[in-house]
Structure 1
Amino acid sequence: MADTEAIGRLEDLMTLAPELQAPTYRHMDRLYATRTIKRGAQVHPLPAGRAVDVRYRAGDAEFGIDAFMARNLTAGLLVLKNGRVVLERYAMGNDAATRWMSFSVAKSIASTLVGAALHDGLIASLDDAVVAYVPALRSSAYDGVTLRQVLQMSSGVAWNEDYLDPASDRRRMLRAQLDQDAGAVLAFMATLPRVAPAGTRFNYSTGETYLVGRILAGALREPIGDYLSRKIWAPFGMEADAYWQLDAPGGQEFAGSGVNATLRDFGRFGLFILGGGMAGGQRVLPEGWLRDATRADPAQRLAPGTLEGYEPMGYGYQWWTFPRGAQALPELDGGLFAALGIFGQQLYIHPKEQLVVAIHSAWPQPVHGPSLVETHALLGALAGALRA
C-alpha cells in the first residue's frame, strides 16, 4: 500500500482507532527508527500443496475461512503443511508483499537469537548472570538474575504489562521509547523493584524481552538485526527484507516487539523452527535448544495450565506452550507451541502435524479472548482436515 496512507501515532499504538490499525501496522517504519534485516540471494520455496477449506465451531455456530477472517479482523492467514501452502488469504488491504507489525512475535525471534549466540559461543551459559552482559544493571533488581530466568520471564522483578492502563509499566516504557534516547528504556528498567525471589514467579514482561536484546547487544559483535540476517534470514531464504524497530536512531533493536516482515516470511521462520534450527545446511541452534525452549512437561513450573490468567498455555523461552495428552486442546495433541503478539499476531508450530500457521490481525483490543478461542478452534479443524 502507498506510503501516503494516514496512520496513527506511536504514543497511541495501544489505542488506535480501528480505521488506523491496518495502515499503521504496515507502515511502522514511518513511526520510529529501524534497521533492515537483509534477505539473501536465494529464496526458500513455498510450493503449493493440496488446498484445504475447513469449517470450525464457535459456540453453537459453524463458520468457514471467510467468516473467520471477517469475525476476527484477519489481514493475512497462511497455512503450511509439510512445507507446502495449503491455504493463503489476505484482507484489509494486505497482500503477499505487505510487511506487517509483529508485536510480541518478535520475542520468540529474539530468544531464538540467544540460542544462536549460545551455539556460536558468544554466550557461555543460560545460567550466566544478566549483569555479565548488561553491566549497567549492577545494583538493580536484576543483579543476581540469570539469562534463563529472563528468558522464562521469571526474574522476580515487578512489572505491570496492562496495555490499556496509562500508568502501567508497559505504557511507561512506551513513553520512554518516545524520547528516542538510547539509554532511556534501560534506565527505566533499572528502577524496577524486586517482588519475588528470582526463578520463582512468572510475570509476563515486554521489558524483560527488551533486556534479552540488551543481553544480545552485550554478546554479539554486530547489530542484532545484522546477526538475524546472517544466521537465519539470508541463509534460510526469506523472500523479502524485513526491518526491526530501534530504541533510538542508530540504537538497539527493541527485542520485545517491532519486527516487520511479510506473512510468508513469518511462515518461513516457522519452518526454520520446525526443521530444528537449520539454515543453509548449517546448524544455527544448539542440539536440544528447541526441546528446552518449548518444553511442556506437566511437572515443570511453567507448564501449560499453571499460569494464572494464561490458561491453557504455559511458557518456555519466550514461546507459549500448549497442553499434551488428556488435557490437550482437541485435535492438537503433540507439542503445539506459538509466538503470540497483541492485536492478533500469531505463529503456531505443530511438529507432530508438520504444520505452521501464520496470522496477521487487527483485533479491537490488545488481548481479545473470543478471537483467541476461535483461532484455536480453527487450528483444530485444520489439523484434523490435513491429517485426513
Structure 2
Amino acid sequence: MLLALNGTVACSPNLNVPSQPIPERDIAAKAAAMAGASILDIDLYTPSAVLPGCSGKNELVVRTIESPTLQSALQQAQAYSDSQSGLALMVIHQDALIYESYADNVSVRSRTESFSMMKSVTSLMVGIALEKGVIKNVDDPIGNYLDEWRNDPRERITIRQLLTMSSGLQSFPFGVPGGETEKLLYSTNINAVALGYPLSGTPGAVFQYNNVNSQLIGAAIDRSLRRQGNGSFAKFMQENLWCPLGNGEATLWLDRKGGSPHFYSGLQASARDWARLGELIRNQGKVGVKQIVPQNWISEMLRPSDTNPAYGLHIWRGQAWQNVRKYDPASSFGVSHSEAYLAPDVYFFDGFGGQRVYIIPSENLTIVRVGEASMTYDDSIIVNLLLAAI
C-alpha cells in the first residue's frame, strides 16, 4: 500500500493488507468537525483511497451553441443554479459538451463531495461484479456474502432488495448525536455498524431509503473480491470503471486507513467525471465501441422497482412525478419537483441538497449540476428549461 502525501491511501496493485487493530475515534468530535463543511472541503473526508484515473483517454468533444433559444435556456438554468448556491453546471447534448460553467472558486479540475450520488456508482459496480463473477446473481441472499448474517433472518435479504431500498432494515433518524446514522458516517468500522442494523419490516415490502443498504452491497462486493484474491473494491473500481471511462483522479472516503469505503457517499470527483458517468448510462454502458457495464444491467437499473416507481436500482426515475419526492414515506422531508418532467425518460443520480447527474436518453442529453447543499433546490427547473429549448 502506498500513502500519498496528503494522507490519502493510493491504489496499489494489491490492497489486501494484513489486519490491523481498529483505531478508536471520537465520533462526536468528528461530527462537529464536519458540521457546516463545504462540498469543496474534501480534505475533511480522510483517510481515502485514491482512484488514479486515466484522464485523456475519453476527452469530451466541445460544440458551440448556435440556437438563441437554447442559449437563453442555458442562461436561465445557470441563474437558477446560482440562486441555489451552484458551483458547477455542465450540459452534454448529442455527444458534445455544449455548456460548462464554474463558480469563481471552482475549476474544471475541482473535486467536490457528491454525497449520495455514490449510490448510483455502487449500482454500476454491481453490474460489473455480476459480469466478472464477483457476485453470482442480483437475487442472491446477502447472507451468501456476509458471514456474520449466516443463520440470521437478515441473511435472506436479497441484493436486489438492498438496491431498491426495500430491505426491511431499520431506518434511523438523522441528526441524533451518537445515533446509528452518525456512527455509519464516522465510525472506524462502518461495516460492523451496518451489520448491526436490525430488521424492522418484511424485505421487499416497503420502499425506505436507507444508507445501510448501499453499505452492505459494497461490503459484499469487497469481501467477494478479497476472497477471490482480486484486491479491494477501490482497485476493482479503478480498473473496471474509472480508468476505462477516462476519468481523472478521484478519492473514496474510508472509515480508517486500509478500511472500508463509504459505499453510499464519499466519492470526490470532478464535474467532468460525473458527466462521463452520466454519458455511460445514456449510451447503455458503452464508451465508444467498448462495453464497460453490461447493457442488460443498465436496462435493469432504470426499470421501476416494485415498491417505488420513482426508483430503480440505486437510481431515481422522473416518470412517476410527485410534487414533493420523499426519501422515506414516514418522513416530512422531501425534494420539490414543481413540474412534471417534459420527457418520459429522465433518470438521475441524487446527492444531498442538489448534487445531480440527469440523464435523458430520448433527447441525447446529460446534465451535471453541483452546488452547496440547498434545501429549496427544485429538481424540475433546470431539466425542463433545457428540454423545452431543445
TM-score (norm. length: structure 2): 0.80
Query: Deviations along 1:278-314, whole A, 9 cap, x unmatched?
Result: 24743233342112211138xx4321xxxxxxxxxx1
CA distance in 2, matches of 1:156, 1:325: 24
Give 2:119's aligned amino acid.
Answer: K
d(CA) in 2 for partners of 1:228 and 1:280? 19
Q: Distance in 2 between matches of 1:279 and 1:10?
A: 39
Does the 8 A contact of 1:296 with 1:322 survive in 2? no
Aligned pairs for 1:218-237 within 5 A: 218-220=223-225, 221-237=230-246
* Bigger Cα displacement from structure 2, 34-43 vs 349-358: 34-43
3-state SS of 1:254 partner: coil
Matches for 1:162-311 after TM superposition, within 5 Å: 162-166=173-177, 168-176=179-187, 180=188, 184-220=189-225, 221-238=230-247, 240-279=248-287, 281-296=289-304, 300-303=306-309
Q: Cα offset for 1:49?
A: 2.1
Give 1:268 shift.
Answer: 0.8
User: How far did 1:55 drift?
Assistant: 4.3
Does structure 2 retain, via aligned residues, the 8 Å contact 1:76–1:89? yes
TM-score, length-normalised on structure 1? 0.81
1:90-101 alignment runs, 5 A limit: 90-91=102-103, 93-101=105-113
Query: 5+ unaligned residues in a row in structure 1: which ranges?
Result: 4-8, 57-62, 304-313
Deviation at 1:120? 1.4
Where does residue 348 of structure 1 map in the other structure?
358
Q: One-letter code of the match for 2:319? A: P
Whole-Å separation in 2 of the counterparts to 1:280 and 1:351: 16
- Shift in alpha-carbon separation, 1:35–1:197, aligned structure 2, 3 A: same
**Gap runs ≥5 in structure 2:** 1-5, 7-28, 324-336
Aligned 1:47-86 pairs, distance under 5 A = 47-51=61-65, 52-55=70-73, 64-86=76-98
Is the contact between residue 30 and residue 186 of structure 2 (CA under 8 Å) also seen in structure 1? Answer: no
- Per the TM alignment, residue 385 of structure 1 is displaced from its structure 2 partner at its CA by 1.0
Aligned residues: 341
Runs of 4+ in 1 over 4 A off after TM superposition: 324-331
Q: Separation in 2 of the partners of 1:326 and 1:261?
A: 30
Q: Is the 8 A contact 1:14 1:164 kept in 2?
A: no
Indicate the SS of the match to 1:94. Answer: coil
SS in 2 for 1:80: strand
CA contact (8 A) 1:152 1:315 kept: yes
Structure-2 change in CA distance of 1:295 and 1:241 (3 Å): same
Contact 2:190 2:260 (8 Å CA) reproduced: no
Change (3 A) 1:65 1:202: closer
- Classify the secondary structure of the residue corresponding to 1:54: helix
Check whether the contact 1:296–1:323 (CA below 8 A) recurs between aligned residues: no
One-letter code aligned to 1:38: P
User: Does 1:333 find its partner at 2:347?
Assistant: no
Q: Secondary structure at the match of 2:79?
A: helix
CA distance in 2 between counterparts of 1:125 and 1:37 reads: 27
In 2, are the aligned partners of 1:53 and 1:87 still within 8 Å (CA)? no
Q: Is 1:385 the counterpart of 2:389 in the alignment?
A: yes
Give matches, 1:307-318, under 5 Å: 314-318=310-314
Is 1:324–1:333's contact at 8 Å kept on the other side of the alignment?
Answer: no
Letter in 2 for 1:246: L
Aligned equivalents of 2:322 and 2:363: distance in 1? 18
Letter of the 1:261 partner, please give it: A
Q: Give 1:330 deviation, angstroms.
A: 4.4
Is the partner of 2:134 in helix, strand or coil?
A: coil
Paired with 2:97 and 2:290, the residues of 1 have a C-alpha distance of 25
**Cα offset for 1:198?**
1.0
Contact 1:117 1:219 in 2 (8 A): no
**Distance of aligned partners of 1:251 and 1:317 in 2 relative to their CA distance in 1, 3 Å threshold:** same
User: Counterparts of 2:33 and 2:153 in 1: how far apart (Å)?
Assistant: 29
Q: Retained in 2: the 8 A contact 1:331–1:381?
A: no
| Alpha-carbon distance in 2 for matches of 1:324, 1:315 | 9
Alignment CA distance shift 1:91-1:228 (3 Å) = same
Q: 2:318 aligns with which of 319, 322, 326?
A: 322
Q: Structure 2 CA distance, aligned partners of 1:290 and 1:213?
A: 18
Tell me: CA distance 1:285–1:65, structure 2 relative to 1, closer, same or farther (3 Å).
closer
Alpha-carbon distance in structure 2 between the residues aligned to 1:115 and 1:13? 36
RMSD of aligned C-alpha atoms? Answer: 2.6
CA contact (8 A) 1:296 1:324 kept: no
